[in-house]
């Protein structure tokens, strides 16, 4: 029997079983379905529409930065991976390999791309010849495959969609600047489009990308207090440039080795949105990326003039660029309310004979469940303003939840207590790998990001002088 606070019986109680709640939500709202191969997912139209909105927002930001979209092959010769030793070692357990094609064994096995530094590095070595060719900024939207043992839709699957940007620069300073600039773009996107506050900064050496000099991350807090790595930007230095011979002739006629970066986000962002904003009713989607921003539900639809008024309102909202749908199905209004709430539509408009007569519409916000009477006159302008308010309020609410769950600890007991309570824990660290490993072994928490600009007296593990403050959390 469903508990009193469960508004959709098919969804588990978010407070009692968060992982099951998540699985129920992604399936019941028709975001995804399971693929026939273990660890794969089929992204259904409602889920893919969110990804399309993410792509559109990201593309605008990338192109403003001078990044151009391209596409590179799915199959990569295995010999490419051996050129950068740390890179191949880091990805070896996850790489899927094609050994046969056309009924014959291949002369060289082909990796199904887990990431594209190797193939893009190879091509850049052909394209970059002179300082005039730099900087080179390329991005691709594609699928990648990483053979995961434990999977969950959007968060960790064997095949997923992402964007991966790759840039080539003449100097270390330019490459570092690009790495941090992309991290800032990710942060701005996460907060202003996904209404998801993030902590940004550098990863520890243990947690950095295989083959990178430094990895920078954005970490988001989910409703259960766990962290989700929502995007990364890597400064690769000259590691890949040397491995793939990316050299350019400088303006003084001297051949020089370039510096490179790579950065990416994936469909994991959809999972992040679900777990940041969702509630006992299901999804709560930020207006910027919601497939449907507003749903119109007719009340007493059989009475004369109601459907016509709803259709006129829909046309008005569409004309203003609002993503709107009219639910003219024969289901009851109550059923429609629950269904669209479960699907996370930011705003619901109820319109019946009395509303029409009064020249008003009833607007129900998904984020706060507040209901507002709004004049039908200038409806499009009112709805656009309300959607902006919802977007802003969702970010503020998520930030307040996160800030209330950031705690400090000065010993192992404090770190354990914090993560057990579902918090991000800030603690001093001496910089020793053994201390970092011990925290993971004893608390199942990992170092998510450096807390830049903060200081502590001692390492929470060994008690020696702290060189850094680290944000620890259990993570997806």
User: Mean pLDDT, the chain, as a whole number?
Assistant: 95
- The span from the CA of 474 to the CA of 405, in Å, is 13
Residue 150 confidence (pLDDT)? 85
Tokens at 23, concatenated: 């699985």
pLDDT at 3 over 50: no
Q: What is the rounded average pLDDT of the residues 271-291?
A: 98
Residue 3 lies in a domain: no
Same-domain pairing of 55 and 107: yes
pLDDT band at 410 (very low <50, low <70, confident <90, very high): very high
pLDDT at 91 over 90: no
SS3 29: coil
SS3 255: strand
Give the dihedral of Cα atoms 193, 396, 323, 362; nearest 10 deg. 180
Q: What is the rounded average pLDDT of the residues 17-27?
A: 97
pLDDT at 388 over 80: yes
Q: What is the rounded average pLDDT of the residues 363-381?
A: 97
- The span from the CA of 340 to the CA of 337, in Å, is 6
Task: Give kind and range of the element (H or E) at residue 340.
Answer: helix 333-342
Residue 81 confidence (pLDDT)? 85
Q: How many CB atoms lie within 10 A of CB 66?
A: 11
Overall number of domains in the chain: 3
pLDDT band at 85 (very low <50, low <70, confident <90, very high): low
pLDDT digits (tens, 9 = 90+) for 288-333: 999 999 999 999 988 989 999 999 999 999 999 999 999 999 999 9
Give 75-137 as a 3 state SS string. Answer: EEEHHHHCCCHHHHHHHHHHCEEEEEECCEEEEEEEEECCCCHHHHHHHHHHHCCEHHHCCEE
Same-domain pairing of 223 and 333: no
Q: What is the rounded average pLDDT of the residues 252-261?
A: 97
All residues at 6 or more sequence positions from 9 whose CB lies less than 8 Å from its CB, including other chains: 2
pLDDT at 83 over 90: no
Residue 372 lies in a domain: yes
Residue 390 confidence (pLDDT)? 98
pLDDT digits (tens, 9 = 90+) for 158-195: 999 999 999 999 999 999 999 999 999 999 999 999 99
Same-domain pairing of 257 and 183: yes
Using an 8 Å Cβ cutoff, are 226 and 201 in contact? no
SS3 435: helix
Same-domain pairing of 372 and 256: no
Higher pLDDT among residues 272 and 6, named by residue? 272
Alpha helices in 130-225, H assignment, sequence order: 172-192
Residue 415 lies in a domain: yes
Residue 13 lies in a domain: no
Check: pTM over 0.85? Answer yes or no: yes
pLDDT band at 1 (very low <50, low <70, confident <90, very high): very low
Q: Which residues are bridge partners to 465 per DSSP?
A: 458
- The span from the CA of 351 to the CA of 348, in Å, is 10
Q: Which of 277, 303, 332 is the C-terminal boundary of a domain?
A: 277
Same-domain pairing of 365 and 268: no
Residue 144 lies in a domain: yes
The CATH number given to whatever domain includes residue 259 is: 3.30.930.10
Same-domain pairing of 374 and 443: no
Same-domain pairing of 24 and 111: yes
Cα 245 to Cα 140, 179, 200, 377: the distances in Å are 22, 21, 32, 64
Residue 394 lies in a domain: no
pLDDT digits (tens, 9 = 90+) for 40-77: 999 999 999 999 999 999 999 999 999 999 999 999 99
SS3 60: helix
- The span from the CA of 360 to the CA of 27, in Å, is 36
Cα angle 55, 157, 418 (rounded to 5 degrees) comes to 95
Q: Which of 386, 419, 436 is the C-terminal boundary of a domain?
A: 386
Q: How many CB atoms lie within 10 A of CB 35?
A: 15
The CATH number given to whatever domain includes residue 426 is: 3.30.110.30
Residue 307 belongs to domain spanning: 294-386
Above pLDDT 90, what percent of the chain? 92
Same-domain pairing of 219 and 145: yes
pLDDT at 88 over 70: no
Same-domain pairing of 425 and 465: yes
Residue 176 lies in a domain: yes
- The span from the CA of 28 to the CA of 344, in Å, is 12
Strand positions, DSSP E, 193-272:
199-202, 214-221, 227-237, 247-249, 255-257, 259-266
Same-domain pairing of 438 and 365: no
Q: Which of 346, 333, 331 is nearest to 291 (CA)?
A: 346
Same-domain pairing of 102 and 242: yes
Same-domain pairing of 356 and 419: no
Supply the angle between the helices 268-277 and 379-403 in degrees, to the nearest 10: 90
């Amino acid at each position: 029997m469903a508990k009193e606070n469960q508004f959709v019986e098919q969804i588990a109680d978010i407070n009692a079983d968060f992982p099951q709640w998540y699985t129920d939500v992604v399936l019941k709202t028709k975001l995804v379905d399971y693929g026939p191969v273990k660890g794969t997912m089929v992204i259904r139209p409602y889920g893919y529409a969110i990804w399309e909105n993410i792509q559109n927002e990201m593309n605008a930001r990338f192109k403003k930065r001078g990044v151009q979209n391209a596409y590179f092959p799915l199959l990569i010769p295995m010999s490419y991976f051996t050129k950068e030793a740390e890179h191949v070692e880091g990805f070896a357990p996850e790489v899927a390999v094609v050994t046969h094609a056309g009924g014959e064994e291949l002369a060289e096995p082909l990796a199904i791309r887990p990431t594209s530094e190797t193939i893009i590095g190879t091509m850049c070595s052909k394209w970059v010849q002179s300082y005039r060719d730099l900087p080179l900024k390329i991005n691709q939207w594609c699928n990648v495959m990483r053979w995961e043992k434990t999977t969950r839709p959007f968060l960790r699957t064997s095949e997923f969609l992402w964007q991966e940007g790759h840039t080539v620069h003449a100097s270390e300073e330019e490459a570092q600047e690009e790495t941090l600039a992309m991290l800032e773009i990710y942060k701005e996107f996460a907060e202003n489009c996904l209404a998801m506050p993030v902590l940004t900064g550098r990863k520890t050496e243990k947690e950095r990308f295989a083959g990178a000099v430094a990895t920078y991350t954005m970490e988001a807090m989910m409703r259960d207090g766990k962290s989700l790595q929502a995007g990364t930007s890597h400064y690769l230095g000259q590691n890949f440039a040397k491995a793939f011979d990316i050299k350019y002739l400088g303006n003084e006629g001297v051949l020089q080795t370039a510096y490179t970066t790579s950065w990416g986000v994936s469909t994991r962002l959809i999972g992040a949105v679900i777990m940041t904003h969702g509630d006992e009713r299901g999804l709560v989607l930020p207006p910027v990326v919601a497939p449907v921003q507003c749903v119109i539900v007719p009340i007493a639809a059989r009475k004369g003039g109601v459907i016509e008024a709803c259709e006129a309102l829909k046309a008005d909202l569409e004309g203003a660029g609002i993503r709107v749908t009219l639910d003219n199905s024969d289901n009851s209004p109550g059923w429609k309310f629950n269904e669209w709430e479960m699907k996370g539509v930011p705003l619901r408009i109820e319109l019946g004979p009395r509303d029409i007569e009064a020249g008003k519409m009833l607007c129900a916000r998904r984020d706060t469940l507040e209901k507002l009477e709004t004049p039908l006159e200038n409806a499009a302008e009112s709805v656009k303003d309300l959607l902006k308010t919802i977007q802003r309020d969702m970010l503020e609410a998520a930030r307040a939840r996160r800030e209330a769950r950031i705690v400090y600890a000065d010993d192992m007991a404090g770190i354990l207590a914090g993560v057990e309570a579902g918090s991000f824990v800030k603690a001093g660290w001496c910089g020793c790998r053994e201390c970092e490993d011990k925290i993971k072994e004893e608390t199942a928490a990992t170092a998510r990001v450096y807390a830049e600009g903060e200081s502590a007296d001692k390492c929470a593990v060994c008690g020696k002088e702290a060189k850094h403050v680290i944000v620890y959390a259990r993570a997806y």
